Structure 1
Amino acid sequence: MAQNRVSARGARRREEIVAVAAELFARGGFRGTGMTEIAELVGITEPGLLYHFRNKEGLLRAVIEWRDHRSQEFARDVASLGGLSTIREMPAFAHRNQEEPGLTRLFAVLLAENLDSGAPAHDFFVRRYREMRDLVAGSILVGQERGEIRPEVDPRLKAVEILATLDGISTQWLLDPASVDLVESIETYARTLERDLARAED
């Protein structure tokens, strides 16, 4: 019983550390945030922090997994609808990101810091985008099989375009939220995309 209490306390402490680190990484980036700063905000020593996470790269992986778990499940649910139904649900991403701007900013900051092949989270982001392209392309294929999406559309190329557009809109919103309406922009894009993809009725 005592062991369970200790484990529960340790799990709560890890969650607290990850939440604080995520906030700091979103503001100052991984490179611009020190372990001492994180430890101080959590209220522990740096050795105490290293007890939970062996090094800064281990903490980065935990932060990314925490953020990714919250977004990937949602993305898979939307993609599972398939075809034009997935396209129509795209604005749900905008609403979700608007409600959690810190998570959206965290992803953008960490992605920019890990473009180089030697960066600690580079491989994660490569895999992440491959998975997202697969999900989007799979949804388009389902729509083609249903006869609702034009057969000449290349699912892989269209997936690249869709993700690039969504990322670009999100980046502009993060930079200038007073001028860029995230939800309206993605709603408009989704309607345009649906018209572009839809197979003409016989």
Structure 2
Amino acid sequence: MTETTTPNVRGVLRRASIIDAARALFSEVGYRGATMAQIAARADVTHAGLLYHFSTKDAVLDAVLAEHRERTAVLAETPEGDGDYLDRLDRVVAQNANEADWMRLSSLLLGEAVALDHPLHGVQETRYQDLERRITTGLLGVSHQPHDNVALAPLARLLIAAMDGLQLQATLTEVDAARAARMRSDFSVMIELIRARLDTV
């Protein structure tokens, strides 16, 4: 039993180390700036070992982003329990503010994806559409006044712009505790403004 499971465990750990190495490399030089050879070297695996787990750089990127999607899955449903949907968004920003590597990676990939031929161009377009829909639905549950999706969609887009914009500003210099705290504080101001707008007809 041990003999058959050990290689599997080793393979899982090796795959995870490749994803970690790729995430770090992408956050430093972007997707376009990274090569499969650099990813293999960073993960301390042979090129053949890398290809065993990921046949292309796109496949490596997909795996890195899959982890990121799991981290942001908190936006997938209207929140329950402690706080409302805006409180949930506030917590997501607070969590991201303390993880400089993820913020840098997200900002780099978002900037690269502006190019029409980038593999993430369509992905990012779909991401914005999906986030707008989810946040708009979430805001319907927060508002104490009657609103419809058309009226709330601009507020959803402003929230997305604030999240991405504050993240980009935070990554322009080394992210320290003070900068992360400012990012959280600034987003809290946006939350207050959105709450005030929701309470008006």
TM-score w.r.t. structure 1 length?
Answer: 0.85
1:106 is matched with 105
Question: Is residue 36 from structure 1 mapped to residue 37 from structure 2 by the alignment?
Answer: yes
Residues 106-126 of structure 1, C-alpha deviations (whole Å, 9 max, x = no match) = 111111112233211222222
Within the candidate set 118, 142, 166, 1:169 is matched to 166
1:80 is matched with 79
Question: Is residue 159 from structure 1 mapped to residue 160 from structure 2 by the alignment?
Answer: no
Measured in 2, the distance between the counterparts of 1:87 and 1:118 equals 35
Measured in 2, the distance between the counterparts of 1:163 and 1:41 equals 33
SS at match of 1:30: helix
1:190 is matched with 191
SS at match of 2:127: helix
Measured in 1, the distance between the counterparts of 2:22 and 2:145 equals 43
Instruction: Give aligned pairs, total.
Output: 194
Task: Answer yes or no: is the 8 Å Cα contact 2:18–2:39 preserved in 1.
Answer: yes
Measured in 2, the distance between the counterparts of 1:95 and 1:42 equals 30
2:27 is matched with 26
Q: Which runs of 5+ in 1 are unaligned?
A: none
The more displaced of 160-169 and 10-19 is 160-169
Task: Answer yes or no: is the 8 Å Cα contact 2:159–2:190 preserved in 1.
Answer: no
Percent identity (aligned): 25
Question: Is residue 140 from structure 1 mapped to residue 136 from structure 2 by the alignment?
Answer: no
Measured in 2, the distance between the counterparts of 1:169 and 1:98 equals 9
Shift of 1:61: 1.0
Measured in 2, the distance between the counterparts of 1:136 and 1:81 equals 15
Within-5 A mapping of 1:109-128: 109-128=108-127
Measured in 2, the distance between the counterparts of 1:149 and 1:88 equals 18
Q: Which runs of 5+ in 2 are unaligned?
A: none
Shift of 1:150: 4.7
Shift of 1:27: 0.9
Residues 88-114 of structure 1, C-alpha deviations (whole Å, 9 max, x = no match) = 333212220122111111111111112
Shift of 1:157: 2.1
1:49 is matched with 50
Task: Answer yes or no: is the 8 Å Cα contact 1:88–1:194 preserved in 2.
Answer: no
Task: Answer yes or no: is the 8 Å Cα contact 1:88–1:191 preserved in 2.
Answer: no
Task: Answer yes or no: is the 8 Å Cα contact 2:86–2:139 preserved in 1.
Answer: no
Question: Is residue 66 from structure 1 mapped to residue 67 from structure 2 by the alignment?
Answer: yes
SS at match of 2:147: coil
